[in-house]
Chains A and B, each alone.
Chain A
């Protein structure tokens, strides 16, 4: 089980590396083709813009894993550890609920696009590229749910 979890973490980071590298190379190739060869890959621009969304959402998944989302913690900074623990239950539960709501409604959105056979670019269906949204929010829901049980204050305010 622990092994599987570590493998998933590696996959997550690996996915990020692949997307970022592809994005950089494709964007530069496109500039070269446009300025020097006066041509260009059809749909490459759209593809790159979608990759940025994927980068952001996979990055956001990892940010939840490492508690690195942007936050303000002026209130908890000076609180006793006991109170911090209570607050961390509340904030993690709230985060899990909000992520779950977005995950569910973005799943409905993706299904809707699937039924309508919407196209993102070329012959790539829109639901495929959009599916990262419910996926990322599901992963974040699971993470915040797990943190309700395993978070120790002090880790959260790091």
Chain B
């Protein structure tokens, strides 16, 4: 009874804008206190963050992503993609999807992609003469693509959390990075296909491939072109570990933006560092207190009890996955992706593994659902960002995003039930 009342109070506080790390820390404190565990354990758990080498990637990739979004990278990315893909039917649809996915993968922030790339692509789409609602929906939903592409921060964080759980099965970041590529391609193709169909009535003058323009766009982007190869080649070629790739990327981006492109001034650096590390601080703190809370949950054998309870009603893996999709969809609409990861993965992953679900598979399913949460009415955050950015009522954004949301939902179902996509 007392536990229920305390839990309700904590949930109410969380919904009233209490910082989430405070709510989770409070839950851990109450739990440990009730079990007579010395509360210093919370400090020990926070310090235990230093035992995870992969965690270094978090601040370094975040910083690199901030630098990229503060400079003119978005312009160069869009210009280059248009030059290279201009010959395709519906080129701008694919340019929007692909460049947004790449930008989100590197900056880790889907909202930033809508603001930065949407500002360039939305007018271009309008100029071509595509229907207005289609353009809004495309730009809004494209922003959330890329969460499953390396080196996206949620992928890294998933592995960090999973590694803390002593699952008995090794899970490596390289596996998870690879596993996200095909599902992302699937989403790209489905949204792109829909884009072609939805705009079939719009007559567009074909753009001739212009070698000179393409060369000049390539030259302009020459310093940024190696970035994906750094990350992917470095990691898969075995030259770098992920944390090392993050360090190299951060230094490289810093050098090219400061010295070659000169779009960021030395005097801007303290502000950019401060802003990016504030985000990292928020995530790390939630991660630290969640580790403590998870520790309490495991001591109290909650994941086991949860499994027993779920198993009384659900015996098949497929029903479990369906239930998981529904729960994650609802959760994704309310919680931001980082808190959802650190709070829910420790509970869900051990249960899912008892149903025979592979941790890599679960990670991709989890994040794909969270990606949908960005676009789910009434509270999906990207809907509001888009409404704010393009100065349209949020109801208009709901309607224009709906077909894309349904397609993404379909792709999430495919991803959930066809795990062979990963191997």
Bound pair (A, B)? yes
Interface size class of B (residues with CB under 8 A): 35 or more
Report whether A75 and B251 are in contact in the complex, using a CB–CB cutoff of 8 Å. no
Taking a contact as CB atoms closer than 8 A, the residue among A59, A76, A109, A156 that contacts B280 in the complex is: A59
B240 within 8 A of A: yes
Instruction: For A18, give the chain B residue with the smallest CB separation.
Output: B273
The answer to whether residues A53 and B251 also contact, given A66-B278, A133-B43 and a CB cut-off of 8 A, is: no
> Is A70 a contact of B286 with CB atoms below 8 Å?
yes
Interface SS, A side: helix
Q: Is A27 in contact with B56, judged by CB distance below 8 angstroms?
A: yes
CA distance A88 to B16 in the complex (A): 9
> Which residues, 110 to 138 on A, are CB-close (under 8 Å) to B?
110, 112, 130, 133-134
> In the complex, how many residues of chain A place their beta carbon closer than 8 angstroms to a beta carbon of chain B?
61
Q: Report A-chain residues with C-beta under 8 Å of the C-beta of B283.
A: 56, 70
Q: Is A71 a contact of B239 with CB atoms below 8 Å?
A: no
Q: A133 to B244, alpha carbons, bound, how many Å?
A: 26
**A109 CB, nearest partner CB in chain B, Å:** 4
In the complex the two chains form, is A31's CB within 8 Å of B277's CB? no
B contacts with A: majority SS: helix
Q: Given the complex, which residues of A lie within 8 Å of B13, measured CB to CB?
A: 90-91, 94
Given contacts A58-B281, A72-B335, contact A101 B39 (CB under 8 A): yes
The interface residues of chain A lying within 8 Å CB-to-CB of B58 are: 52
Show 26 A/B contacts (Cβ-Cβ < 8 Å), sorted by A: A13-B270, A17-B269, A20-B59, A23-B56, A23-B59, A24-B63, A24-B247, A24-B251, A56-B281, A56-B284, A59-B282, A62-B277, A63-B278, A63-B285, A70-B283, A72-B334, A72-B335, A74-B334, A91-B18, A94-B18, A102-B29, A105-B39, A105-B40, A105-B42, A109-B44, A133-B46
Give A residues with C-beta under 8 Å from B.
13-14, 16-17, 20-21, 23-25, 27-28, 31, 35, 45-46, 48-50, 52-53, 55-64, 66, 68-76, 87-88, 90-91, 94-95, 98-99, 101-102, 105-106, 108-110, 112, 130, 133-134, 156-157
